[in-house]
């Protein structure tokens, strides 16, 4: 079997089966539903881009790591061993996952803007675009964290279903536990949900950027580095 070695192959892998196509479509529909649902639910003075976009982005971020987990999990064979003796396929899958996350981030930002314009009508009671620039930038970047978590899960968890499930269960569980057991604000330093809460709607302070860097290191960089080491170690034994 051909080992995927280009970014294009990785992106095409997102549409390689009906189930994967359904996942992408579901993510798109969930984003639109969250944006329009909140835009019409909020009071007229709160129907702004900065109020609607964070909720829509965080809702979609539940699903984007599933696709990322699929991309890296594809590098295993039926026995769970890695198919390649080099890290090149993994690098291209990382890039493909990042592109997917950015595209979804841009899509949700755009659909949120459309939802706000439709819900506001011709005579808005509030400036719908106040704080739109930092919100738009943060809302696009925020999707890179969940897809990074998804990539790591696909490398580290031996079953695809469990890998996808772990992208929800583990971050939420850690956030809840820290909320009960650790000093207030700890989750902002140690969990994706805490860091994302500042990235969207923004603007970010120096402290917030430091929290984001630490969170990305713990949840994206470190587990993916470990997964890569496992990939290369197991590949060398094949």
Element (H, E) at 59: helix 49-60
Compute the Cα dihedral for 156, 161, 167, 170 and give only its sign.
negative
| Phi, psi for 204 (deg, rounded to 5) | -90, 135
120 contacts 47 by C-beta, under 8 angstroms = yes
pLDDT by residue, tens only, the chain of 238 residues: 444 468 888 899 999 999 999 999 999 999 999 999 999 998 888 889 999 999 999 999 999 999 999 999 988 766 555 555 555 688 899 999 999 999 999 999 999 999 999 998 767 667 888 888 888 888 888 899 999 999 999 999 989 999 999 999 999 999 999 988 888 888 888 898 888 877 877 678 898 899 999 999 999 999 999 998 887 776 666 5
128 contacts 48 by C-beta, under 8 angstroms = yes
The residues spanned by each domain of the chain are 7-237
The encoded tokens of residue 232 equal 């290369």
Residue 231: the pLDDT is 79
Residue 3: the pLDDT is 45
Residue 122: the pLDDT is 66
Element (H, E) at 35: helix 18-41
**Residue 82's beta-bridge partner residues?**
76
Q: What is the CA radius of gyration of the chain?
A: 19
Give the integer Cα–Cα distance in Å for 173 and 168: 8
1 contacts 89 by C-beta, under 8 angstroms = no
The encoded tokens of residue 154 equal 């696909």
Chain mean position to CA 14: 15
Count of H helices and E strands in the chain? Answer: 12, 0
Residue 76: the pLDDT is 75
Q: Give, to the nearest 10 degrees, the angle between helix 192-199 and helix 49-60.
A: 150
pTM of this structure:
0.89
């Amino acid at each position: 079997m051909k080992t995927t070695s280009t970014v294009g192959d990785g992106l095409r892998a997102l549409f390689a089966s009906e189930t994967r196509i359904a996942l992408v479509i579901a993510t798109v529909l969930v984003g639109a539903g969250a944006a329009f649902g909140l835009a019409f639910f909020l009071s007229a003075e709160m129907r702004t881009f900065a109020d609607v976009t964070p909720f829509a982005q965080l809702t979609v971020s539940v699903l984007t790591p599933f696709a990322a987990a699929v991309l890296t999990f594809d590098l295993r064979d039926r026995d769970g061993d890695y198919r390649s003796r080099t890290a090149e396929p993994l690098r291209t899958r990382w890039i493909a996952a990042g592109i997917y996350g950015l595209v979804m981030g841009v899509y949700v930002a755009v659909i949120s803007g459309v939802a706000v314009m439709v819900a506001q009508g011709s005579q808005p009671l509030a400036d719908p675009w106040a704080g739109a620039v930092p919100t738009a930038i943060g809302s696009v970047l925020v999707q890179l964290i969940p897809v990074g978590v998804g990539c790591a899960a696909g490398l580290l968890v031996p079953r695809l279903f469990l890998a996808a499930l772990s992208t929800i269960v583990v971050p939420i569980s850690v956030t809840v536990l820290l909320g009960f057991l650790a000093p207030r604000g700890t989750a902002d330093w140690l969990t994706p949900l805490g860091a994302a809460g500042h990235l969207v709607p923004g603007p970010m302070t120096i402290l917030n950027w430091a929290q984001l860097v630490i969170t990305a290191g713990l949840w994206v960089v470190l587990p993916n580095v470990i997964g890569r080491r496992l990939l290369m170690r197991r590949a060398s034994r094949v």
